[in-house]
Structure 1
Amino acid sequence: MVMDSGVDRPLAEALADELVELTRSLAELAYDLGSDEVTLRRHMVSIQSIDRITQAQLAIADILRSEAPVAARIDGVTLETLAARLRQRLTRTP
């Protein structure tokens, strides 16, 4: 079955699974970096960026797995900046 996005369901599921695995790896990296006080103090902003990336990856995985209409998928994204960027990209004319 092909999704509205043009990506068939098995591919969407596989991509979502890969995003979740990448997210786990990044989360472990952020945890390791944050466990060292010196590194944490020096790189707090970067470690927080890793957290935002992991949240975005999980949101994208949810979008790929969803069978809801596109607008509903994006409405379910809790990272408002990501949702806004997706809406903007979807309204662009080719």
Structure 2
Amino acid sequence: MDQQLAHALADELVELTRSLADLAYDLGSDSDTLRRHMVSIQSVDRITQAQLAIADILRSDAPVAARIDGVTLETLADRLRERVAGNA
């Protein structure tokens, strides 16, 4: 993938992540909404973490294995390893 495109996509992911995180914060600020939708709001947090990890991968020029090893979300790293290996 072209490096400029990869960086542009990473920037877009970061912007989307900020918007999603702001939305989750707004929803979580209301105690009734937080109680009713705690699991969903936590899911939004996992999604934002994954988006930032993907943005980091897109920006990196390290070998693929090293990029994936840098992902701190274990389930995401495992899925990426499987997909890169052609098992998914």
TM bucket (normalised to shorter chain) is over 0.9
Identical aligned residues as a percent: 83
Gaps of 5+ in 2: none
Q: Which has the higher helix share?
A: 2
* Residue of structure 2 in register with 1:48 after alignment: 42
Matched, 1:32 2:42: no
* Residue of structure 2 in register with 1:4 after alignment: none
TM-score (norm 2): 0.97
* Residue of structure 2 in register with 1:10 after alignment: 4
Number of residues of Structure 1 aligned to a counterpart in Structure 2: 88
Matched, 1:82 2:66: no
Gaps of 5+ in 1: 1-6
**Secondary structure, in 3 states, of the residue corresponding to 1:52?**
helix
2:85 to 79, 87, 91: 91
TM-score (norm 1): 0.91
